[in-house]
Structure 1
């Protein structure tokens, strides 16, 4: 390659690749990985799929493995501010230098495939290829891979060999691609289960659980189900939740999560089960697990950015329901003085999300804005839907800065602004608060 691009140029090149066009067959991804010498990986792989909670399970599992002194590689999607968020080594964002090394090799191979008529790898394929190059160059022992969309046909499922599959909660999302029923979507997610492997899954949705168990039997895989009855909520106060585990070696340990999101109890339990399966450790060796979990702060998930601003990336009806369940823990006086800031993208069921918010979020007012993305729903349309669902004040503002000022202005003295509806919105807010700098 004649020109060595900067990280900013690399980001621009990648962002211009189509994100949501028809994906390539999985053999295309395998060919890309094969040419990168990344198809076969001599590391322990944990593959995570599901509708909601995938990233959280990954981040908590990473924390536990690091507490055990293990070297880790973590692949996540999407990112909020920088592409570097998607690739992490030992808990740290990949450096620009490491990213660029993988990028230049991946681009060379992608161009070769394009010239041969095979087609340039898609946005997600390309990023996954860079990730695997970074991981191959690292000393990581454990690789934690979050699927992008679905599971069976996802680019991450092209790798040969996986030691453990984890499936989080299943809900109706991406129905145009994955199917319009819980069982159909669960079937796609269960596609990550490997022959003779093991799967740990969220068993709260009975319809999904049956599909996953059937898929595990077909693959002669062992399975382990996690339900809400496995944990006991001990207490919660805004951004801290405490719970005990039932029927576990460490059932006397009080775990604390640095988040006000109730749904994180289930995700932490999935991560704990995954760690137990991988490490085979007893309670006596788990002294650092409790502290590691409490130290986790996960971006965009009931994240308190300022004392008066909390963002949550809930972007589909099941996630909105989980957000509302957590919101119900807030003191009624504070909630009644609070304002909800909302935006969404077109390929989500934003009408249903808005109805849920109007029915169950007992806030003072609603402010809507438009996401800086071509799929963003126009402000006027969001305003109209809200006004058909609530008699409370609804204010539309075209820009993020205007909407944040408007929401803050309408908050009572003890109130808070809750921003919800899309991870794109969460990313916009985080970028705005840092003056556009994002991550260092």
Structure 2
């Protein structure tokens, strides 16, 4: 089998099927020899910010010389992005090798009358096998959907659990209140395992604290005073952490997403919990954090052109907060969405919070796309500004570039859109 055939096989596995039980996942992993379960595992759940928190932790661990595996989702361009060893996603040959081993296990399961793993479960098995074979010391696991029933929750003895910001998303699967969703995310908390979490939402915080208390897990809550902005530009943010001890210590991160300050703070708190004292070296940690570029999160891919993966109401609020902090006025907004998101709520927030003369809507190349025409009609219900409808992302991008007139361009609404735009920028250096 070739790499391309392996990817095609995985892509044909249904992405949105009923989850298998954790007992099923544990049996699946056991058949492969429980790869990676003897490593130090950092487990991360939440609605927004999971990938960023993981990326900051990965950077610090590597700075301190710790060999690290990182399982993340979704990918923007290549499926290999989901399985990272140290600083590199696994290459095509490595991907194919672990695919074939997992496929052999799955074939054995089929022979025993056991059902096929889901898309995410199959990739999780590949990741754990790749990490074990690379002999990593730390494994960073980002949950896919939820937490309690997520395949990654088959890990029974993580070193620390991290829960990022929680807001309404995947409500058909996780519940239609923040408290219900928090309960699903808090399902990653294990008996006696320390928990670090974003406590800025009181309802979510109460649920997480109650779960931690019931499981005798030390609990560290980071609230709105966990950090303070000292300087913000389109290129970077300088901030201090909230404690009296740290107030004069300046941390710098690339990009201008103000939500990243909480994500960095969560990452640092988790590492302070899990790393031996000799590896807590803040000067080296600062260098590592300052170098992180997490693609598609207020990423300035060209001067004045930003890609942001905001794809739910909470993330759109955070995007608007960033523009407020920057003092940006009248940006060109390029937007698309998928049908299982609360896209009308996202549009209403965007039109209410971000005042501009031009919104451009497009549609992604996926079966779950919201048609551009429908998005255009929704925008026109919430704004009197010009709304331009372009079915093709490439056409939408060209219109944004042609009409920007020294304004910044902000692209958001779907990670699928961000992946498509990244591909266009990479293929066409003239997109400026």
| TM tier relative to shorter chain | over 0.9
Deviations 1:350-382 (A, max 9, x none): 000001111111222011111111000011100
Residues 80-159 of structure 1 mapped to structure 2, 5 A cutoff: 80-159=76-155
Q: Secondary structure at the match of 1:29?
A: helix
The answer for the alignment partner of 1:269 in structure 2 is 265
The answer for the alignment partner of 1:398 in structure 2 is 391
Match of 1:161 among 157, 160, 165: 157
Q: Does the CA-based 8 Å contact 1:40-1:159 persist in structure 2?
A: no
Q: How far apart are the structure 1 equivalents of 2:209 and 2:160?
A: 15
The answer for the alignment partner of 2:210 in structure 1 is 214
Q: Does the CA-based 8 Å contact 2:19-2:149 persist in structure 1?
A: no
The answer for the alignment partner of 1:374 in structure 2 is 367
Q: How far apart are the structure 2 equivalents of 1:284 and 1:36?
A: 35
Q: How far apart are the structure 1 equivalents of 2:354 and 2:402?
A: 19
Match of 2:377 among 381, 384, 401: 384
The answer for the alignment partner of 2:353 in structure 1 is 360
CA RMSD of aligned residues (A): 1.5
Deviations 1:164-199 (A, max 9, x none): 000001111111111111111111111101111110
- Cα offset for 1:317? 0.2
Q: How far apart are the structure 2 equivalents of 1:309 and 1:15?
A: 31
The answer for the alignment partner of 2:316 in structure 1 is 320
In the alignment, does 2:413 pair up with 1:421? Answer: yes
Q: How far apart are the structure 2 equivalents of 1:15 and 1:384?
A: 32
In the alignment, does 2:183 pair up with 1:187? Answer: yes
Q: Secondary structure at the match of 1:139?
A: coil
Q: Secondary structure at the match of 1:329?
A: helix
The alignment's TM-score, normalised by the length of structure 1, stands at 0.94
Match of 2:292 among 253, 273, 296: 296
- Cα offset for 1:284? 7.7
- Cα offset for 1:250? 4.1
Q: How far apart are the structure 1 equivalents of 2:302 and 2:346?
A: 25
The answer for the alignment partner of 2:221 in structure 1 is 225
Q: Does the CA-based 8 Å contact 1:250-1:283 persist in structure 2?
A: no
Q: How far apart are the structure 2 equivalents of 1:164 and 1:52?
A: 19
Q: Secondary structure at the match of 1:340?
A: strand
Q: How far apart are the structure 1 equivalents of 2:85 and 2:279?
A: 27
The answer for the alignment partner of 1:351 in structure 2 is 344
Q: Does the CA-based 8 Å contact 1:200-1:225 persist in structure 2?
A: yes
Q: Secondary structure at the match of 2:29?
A: helix
The answer for the alignment partner of 2:194 in structure 1 is 198
Residues 5-20 of structure 1 mapped to structure 2, 5 A cutoff: 5-20=1-16
Q: Does the CA-based 8 Å contact 2:102-2:122 persist in structure 1?
A: yes
Match of 1:29 among 25, 28, 43: 25
Q: Does the CA-based 8 Å contact 2:301-2:307 persist in structure 1?
A: yes
The answer for the alignment partner of 2:173 in structure 1 is 177
Q: How far apart are the structure 1 equivalents of 2:244 and 2:5?
A: 50
Deviations 1:50-105 (A, max 9, x none): 01010010000111111111111100011100111111111211122221111001
- Cα offset for 1:32? 1.1
Gaps of 5+ in 2: none
Gaps of 5+ in 1: none
Q: Secondary structure at the match of 2:326?
A: coil
C-alpha spacing 1:282/1:241, structure 2 compared with 1 (3 Å): farther
- Cα offset for 1:114? 2.5
Q: Does the CA-based 8 Å contact 1:238-1:329 persist in structure 2?
A: no
Q: Does the CA-based 8 Å contact 1:38-1:136 persist in structure 2?
A: no
